[in-house]
Structure 1
């Protein structure tokens, strides 16, 4: 009887642990909000939360794309530079108020991002070059191309119609937040309910087994890099419109925040496990930390230390889950 009671208690403890593990990111976010609300009277105001969500939108869109890549056991270090290049190309079309050119600007930003992602995908999937090396190279190539394209100078005086993508609103919701919600909804559905989504998880779990079962693993891997590049192009479009100019140095180190959001959100760097909901909470945690520390007057240098510590902690938790 005692053994049965002990087994029951042990099973109950295991279930509680599993629940806490699954909801850990949510609990961490709530705890963070409580601490920051006690530290600053402005934290819970509507205007401040609108700013947090608007600032999180860019990183959130990037992080969604990076999630696809990491789920297949890859990495994408180039999204910040692709963002800058896409924004610069879009801005070059947006210096005229002609609505046709605004359409070209949108298509150009997405096309540049998707093309850069496709190059990454081909090199990783078909030529079997390590993703770290490929995307690190693309980081440098895209950044250099941005400086060449802009001649190292900002592209400004953009059309008001183009600026709407960064400063406008839809039903009272700022466009960047609306875009993040739309991208999240489409990508969440794709990962959860489509064959492609199941293949992404399968390839990340075991590429060899997936190939044996008939999955075209190379196409799946390449597709994830195209998605990451495409969303980096969208983020570049929105950021350029929000800042009212295409800056050649835009997006520097954005890839680190994007990867941090994915890892903090519980996606395993070993592939095959993770959710976009977790990624969104990871992006929100980073945005909330940045905002809260700004309200408390903490130096940006210390903010980098805090984010780095959180990333290491998240990786340690991932290692412990697999142990």
Structure 2
């Protein structure tokens, strides 16, 4: 007869525990998008030696920082089972307020920035109020406010691009050296925004309430979560984030452009979907949304470096979105 020792039991337990831990790790919402991002980077590294350079990687982050910031606001809305179609237009309106007040109105740069962010925040309050108090569908509400913000942008700007901005408005477009590579301050701000959002969503009671409301609003209300107040706070916070995205846009372009942001609402939703955030609410990770934005940036940059026409970049992005939504739908059916 063989003797089974305590050591044998411990080793067997560790053997069973390792696969379980690996399975739990792979089940994390951000793991799939992160692996997809790494695979895309490996593919383009093999295809061209110009991809994996400090300058090019810094450029990719610069190219996605505005949409990335919009995606952060979009994520917290979608986690509550909502959606925001107005974010690109609201951001553009905020940039026009910032730039025109600073250039034509003689308002100090800092105050112009605060007013621009306040305008975006006000639209967030409007969206949240109509969704919670009037009980209108988020899709309809934000489609309406998209049109309002778009019209106000063109009316207030007189259809003119605003140039000659003070340095206080373009500061985030400046660079600093990091490991021999120039990195913009705006890129750092965008990454810091995701870090703060991750902490709030994962480490605070308010963040857990966001997931609870998105998963089942009625059940969350019955447990004592103030769902209306939470949704109003979410849309308001999203509006403020869009204002920050506007400042990032001004820093990157150094102008106030009334034509900006026209497709950024769709780009932000694309980033969120590719990041594994469920459009049905209650599931996903803010870090996944960051990975989703970077996936789009990497694919577009890599295809451009390899000489693929830009129309195919749009085609591939569309295919990836459909695949991501299909995976989310299948996962939702399994849980049901």
Question: What do the CA deviations read for 1:49-104 (whole angstroms, capped 9, x no partner)?
Answer: 01011112111111111110000000001111011100110001332798x71111
2:195 matches 1:185: yes
| Structure 2 Cα separation of the partners of residues 161 and 170 of structure 1 | 20
Of the candidates 61, 64, 68, which is equivalent to residue 69 of structure 2?
A: 61
Aligned-pair distance for 1:14? 8.4
2:99 matches 1:91: yes
Report the RMSD for the aligned CA atoms in angstroms: 2.3
Runs of 5+ consecutive residues of structure 1 not aligned to the other structure: 1-10
| 1:37–1:14 distance in 2 versus 1, CA, 3 Å | same
Q: What's 1:283 paired with?
A: 293
2:315 matches 1:308: no
Question: What do the CA deviations read for 1:99-150 (whole angstroms, capped 9, x no partner)?
Answer: x711112201210111011111111111111111111111111111100010
| Structure 2 Cα separation of the partners of residues 286 and 248 of structure 1 | 24
Q: What's 1:6 paired with?
A: none
Aligned-pair distance for 1:166? 2.1
| Structure 2 Cα separation of the partners of residues 48 and 30 of structure 1 | 16
2:201 matches 1:219: no
Q: How many residues align?
A: 314
Judge conservation of contact 2:58–2:183 (CA < 8 Å) in 1: no
SS at match of 1:94: helix
| Structure 1 Cα separation of the partners of residues 177 and 94 of structure 2 | 24
Judge conservation of contact 1:109–1:234 (CA < 8 Å) in 2: no
Where do 1:113-124 residues align within 5 Å? 113-124=120-131
Q: What's 2:167 paired with?
A: 160
**Which protein has the larger Cα radius of gyration, Structure 1 or Structure 2?**
2
| 1:30–1:168 distance in 2 versus 1, CA, 3 Å | closer
Q: What's 1:176 paired with?
A: 186
| Structure 2 Cα separation of the partners of residues 48 and 76 of structure 1 | 31
| Structure 2 Cα separation of the partners of residues 67 and 123 of structure 1 | 19
Where do 1:17-28 residues align within 5 Å? 19-22=25-28, 23-28=31-36
Question: What do the CA deviations read for 1:202-243 (whole angstroms, capped 9, x no partner)?
Answer: 101111011111111011111111122111111111212221
| 1:54–1:15 distance in 2 versus 1, CA, 3 Å | same
| Structure 1 Cα separation of the partners of residues 111 and 184 of structure 2 | 22
Aligned-pair distance for 1:13? 8.3
Q: What's 1:252 paired with?
A: 262
2:75 matches 1:70: no
Q: What's 2:284 paired with?
A: 274
Aligned-pair distance for 1:169? 4.1
Judge conservation of contact 1:150–1:248 (CA < 8 Å) in 2: yes
The worse-fitting range, judged by mean Cα deviation, of 177-186 and 77-86 is: 177-186
Of the candidates 33, 48, 52, which is equivalent to residue 44 of structure 1?
A: 52
Q: What's 2:110 paired with?
A: 103
| 1:169–1:17 distance in 2 versus 1, CA, 3 Å | same
What TM-score do the two structures reach when normalised by structure 2?
Answer: 0.88
Runs of 5+ consecutive residues of structure 2 not aligned to the other structure: 1-16
What TM-score do the two structures reach when normalised by structure 1?
Answer: 0.91
